[in-house]
Amino acid sequence: MHQKEFRILVINPGSTSTKIGIFDNERPVFEKTIRHDTETIHQFDSVIDQYSFRKDTILEALDYEGINISKLSCVVGRGGLLRPIEGGTYGVNEAMLADLKTGYAGEHASNLGGILAYEIAEGLNIPSFIVDPVVVDEMDEIARISGVPEMERKSIFHALNQKAVARRVSKMLGKSYEALRLIVVHMGGGITVGVHKGGRVIDVNNGLHGEGPFSPERAGTVPIGDLVSMCFSGEYYADEVMKKLVGQGGLVAYLGTNDARTVEEMIESGNEKAELIYDAMAYQVAKEIGSASSVLYGQVDAIILTGGLAFGKDFVKKITDRVEWISDCIIQPGENELQALAEGGLRVLRNEEQAKEYPGAKASKGLQLD
Ligand SMILES: Nc1ncnc2c1ncn2[C@@H]1O[C@H](COP(=O)(O)OP(=O)(O)O)[C@@H](O)[C@H]1O
Ligand SMILES: CCCC(=O)OP(=O)(O)O
């Protein structure tokens, strides 16, 4: 029997880019990555302030391609900093919109994914969904202990791509995802190193709020005593310190750019500081992988490097030279997020799966965004 054709718009707002795609069932018919440089992002005080800019960017890109959005079956966005939930496809509801808008667990570009999906879909009277948001939480109890009872370690990471790439590599290796012990390293605007065992991500650095390697725009783990002193120095407001950690940390702080290709050009032209900082980022990624390998008692089937930075051959080599004694390194540059979002929406449209309901507190109707 001929399968019904669904047309899906997928929206993936990242910290350094907005990625969009149109899929006819599983088949991509249009994909575009719109990069946002440091100056563009920094003109906005908060992520939610970027809403109109990102929406216009998306609609202009679709218009330019001559894509008529009135033919869409649903819109799927990358999910943001919600309450901790299990993986899957969720319908965007009022409670979710309220948590995304206020940034229930903090600020990240992916908060805009569900909001943009909802706003575009609502005008067309079609459903909107998010899939595997950054708060997917499968961590072991032992991994939640931080050392300060009032502070629990949290699972905030590139869940969508880590899971999708782990499944793809498992297939390549001829094994089920559940049977493998993998370390998946997503290197984008943020960097997260996930320990995958038995089909669950049992430990991962909180890629947003000061854990793990520094990244193109984040500080990662910093000397904690110095951070406390900075907070109480009287020189900074809380939001200024937070920006030093997220948005204006890492490569942005040291070299003034979130673009690794610009850093590579700086190194080419003999900039020694750029070389040291780029080396240090690779060094910190390798250290985090070493730490993750101890969670698996050293029994690691593969280390997978993915995300935009995995396109950088020299950067990847700096990491693999330090970690290939642990296990084979498999390089999967870029991400599979658009495809994973489309497939998540499709499973619901085809009634293969029921959309899960987001459990947050109910909010009042009507979000004023435009
Ligand atoms: N070909 C490439 N070589 C080196 N770095 C790259 C390449 N393509 C993208 N990057 C870098 O990857 C990072 C962005 O990764 P990406 O996964 O797209 O992030 P996000 O989704 O967080 O916006 C940027 O620092 C970008 O410069
Ligand atoms: C919040 C974790 C996910 C993340 O860092 O995404 P980007 O790299 O797209 O900013």
pLDDT of amino acid 365: 39
| Res 4: pLDDT | 87
280-290 in b/e burial notation, b at 16+ Cβ within 10 A? ebbebbbbbbb
**Fold identical between 7-137+337-357 and 159-333?**
yes
Q: Does the ipTM surpass 0.95?
A: yes
Any ligand 1 atom below 6 A from CB of 15: yes
For ligand 1, the distance from its centroid to the CA atom of residue 265, given in whole angstroms, is: 14
| Ligand 1 site, residue 38, Cβ cutoff 6 A | no
Q: Which of 15, 104, 201, 245, when mutated, tests ligand 2's pocket best, judged by the most ligand atoms within 8 Å of its CB?
A: 15
Measured from the alpha carbon of residue 81, the closest ligand is 2
CB of 243 shorter than 6 A to ligand 2:
no
SS3 content of the chain, % helix, strand, coil (to 5): 40, 20, 40
Q: Delimit the domains of the chain by residue range.
A: 7-137+337-357, 159-333
Say yes or no: CB of residue 260 within 6 Å of ligand 1: yes
341 Cα–ligand 2 center, Å:
15
Question: Is the CB of 189 inside a 6 Å radius of any atom of ligand 2?
Answer: yes
Using CA positions, which residue lies closest to atom 4 of ligand 2? 190
253 phi and psi angles, rounded to 5 deg? -70, -45
Residue 367: the pLDDT is 41
Residue 131's identity, in one-letter code, is V
Q: Is 258 in the pocket of ligand 1 (CB under 6 A)?
A: yes
For the entire predicted model, the pTM comes to 0.91
Q: Which of 12, 309, 313, 317 to mutate to test the pocket of ligand 1 (most atoms within 8 A of CB)?
A: 309
In this prediction, residue 247 carries a pLDDT of 92
Q: Is 207 in the pocket of ligand 1 (CB under 6 A)?
A: no
Whether the CB of 309 sits within 6 Å of ligand 1: yes
Residue nearest to atom 9 of ligand 2 (CA): 14
For the domain made up of 159-333, the CATH class stated in words is alpha beta
Give the span between the Cα atoms of 51 and 369, in whole angstroms.
7
Per-residue pLDDT of the chain (370 residues; tens, 9 = 90+): 567 899 999 999 988 899 999 999 999 999 999 999 888 988 998 999 999 999 999 999 999 999 999 999 999 999 999 999 988 999 999 999 999 999 898 889 999 999 999 999 999 999 999 999 999 999 999 999 999 999 999 999 999 999 999 999 999 999 999 999 999 999 999 999 999 999 999 999 999 988 999 999 999 999 999 999 999 999 999 999 999 999 999 999 999 999 999 999 999 999 999 999 999 999 999 999 999 999 999 999 999 999 999 999 999 999 999 999 999 999 999 988 999 999 999 999 999 999 999 997 554 333 444 4
Sequence-separated contacts (24+) of 257-264 with Cβ below 8 Å: 257/37, 257/38, 258/15, 258/16, 258/37, 258/38, 258/41, 258/189, 258/216, 258/217, 259/16, 259/35, 259/37, 259/216, 260/216, 260/308, 260/309, 260/312, 260/315, 261/312, 264/312, 264/314, 264/315
Rounded to the nearest whole angstrom, what is the distance from the C-alpha of residue 152 to the centroid of ligand 2? 20
Establish whether residue 189 lines the binding site of ligand 1, counting it when its CB lies within 6 angstroms of any ligand atom: yes
CB of 108 within 6 A of ligand 2: the answer is: yes
The CATH architecture one would assign to domain 7-137+337-357 is 2-Layer Sandwich (3.30)
Is 134 near ligand 2, meaning CB less than 6 Å away? Answer: yes
